[in-house]
Amino acid sequence: MWTPLFIDSQKISQKDLKNILSGEIPALVVRNFYSETQCMEIIKKIETSKKTYFQKSKLEHIGPFLMSFATRKKDYFQKSKEFQKINQDIFERIENPSTRIFNMIQKVLPSFSISLAEQDEGYFSPFVIRIHRKGKSIPIHKDNVKYEGKEYSISKIDQQLSCVLHLQESETGGDVIIYKNQWEKKDERYRNIDFGYTPDVVTKECCKISNINKGDLVIINPNYYHQVTKILGETPRITLGMFLGIYNENHKIVAWA
């Protein structure tokens, strides 16, 4: 059975990360990566701020998302620079998620350097915070910067991981489903006009994770198709996401959103 591994951050091993990259397991769920109190403080900081952080689009979010700027490098790096101040404001009294994730990965892969991705135009955005309200969902999709981000230096990575910190869960709905199907270029015939793919792109074999708690960190190989089911509860689902790109030969890991 294809099932996720639930684990404490201090017990993650190199084998666990390799198993995610290879598809041996669908997900690594790091329990209590942030405490409930810390999550509540972050949410309160977002909701009570005088400045409107969330950018209105089909989904509400804080921070630029690279694939929304696939051919607009100048705009992306300008938005990333602006996000630095917002980032500092939100995590003024709480350890920044980038720092905590970097430290965890560094312990598991001590021979690798890890840092925020950068290129001549500047630093990449470290993460994106998303809010999904009642009725919202995320369709079947994959994340593959090697294919979709060819305008950027990080498209040269060897492997990619997705890290999503769950800050708040809705009462019902919002489950993560990961399919045991990796994206291939021929799958583009199933791509929707706006975003995601039709269900024809995947088989029935999948993993549904419905017991993610506030403060859990979920790590997956985002080249496997995945989706988030419709939010049915009144409480919004709020997450913080970032990607890690691995350069095997240079023993280097870079982060971006």
The pLDDT assigned to 46 comes to 82
Split at pLDDT 50, 70, 90, the class of 256 is very high
What is the C-alpha separation between 148 and 67, in angstroms, rounded? Answer: 7
User: Tokens 């509400």 sit at which residue?
Assistant: 60
Q: Which of 165, 154, 174, 19 is nearest to 95 (CA)?
A: 165
Q: Residue 132 belongs to what domain range? A: 5-256
User: Tokens 């990961």 sit at which residue?
Assistant: 178
Q: For a pLDDT cut of 90, what percent of the chain falls above it?
A: 85
> What CATH number is attached to the domain comprising 184?
2.60.120.620
What is the C-alpha separation between 153 and 24, in angstroms, rounded? Answer: 29
pLDDT at residue 124 above 80?
yes
Residue range 171-229, pLDDT digits in tens: 999 999 999 999 999 999 999 998 999 999 999 999 999 999 999 999 999 999 999 99
The pLDDT assigned to 50 comes to 44
Render the chain in DSSP notation, one character per residue.
---PEEE-GGG--HHHHHHHHHTSSS-EEETTSS-HHHHHHHHHHHHH-SS--PBPSSSEEES--GGGGTT-HHHHHHHHHHHHHHHHHHTSSS--HHHHHHHHHHHH-TTSEEEE-EETTEEPP--EEEEE-TT--EEEE---HHHH-TTSGGGG-SEEEEEEEEEE--SSB--EEEEEEE--GGGGGGB-SSSSB-GGGS-S-EEEE----TT-EEEE-TTEEEEEPPB-SSSPEEEEEEEEEEETTTTEEEEE-
Report the number of distinct structural domains present in the chain: 1
- Measured torsion, CA atoms of residues 172, 141, 241, 58, in degrees rounded to the nearest 10: -70
Radius of gyration of the chain (CA): 17
Residue range 23-79, pLDDT digits in tens: 999 999 999 999 999 999 999 888 765 455 555 545 588 899 999 998 899 999 999
Give phi and psi for 141, each to the nearest 5: -155, 175
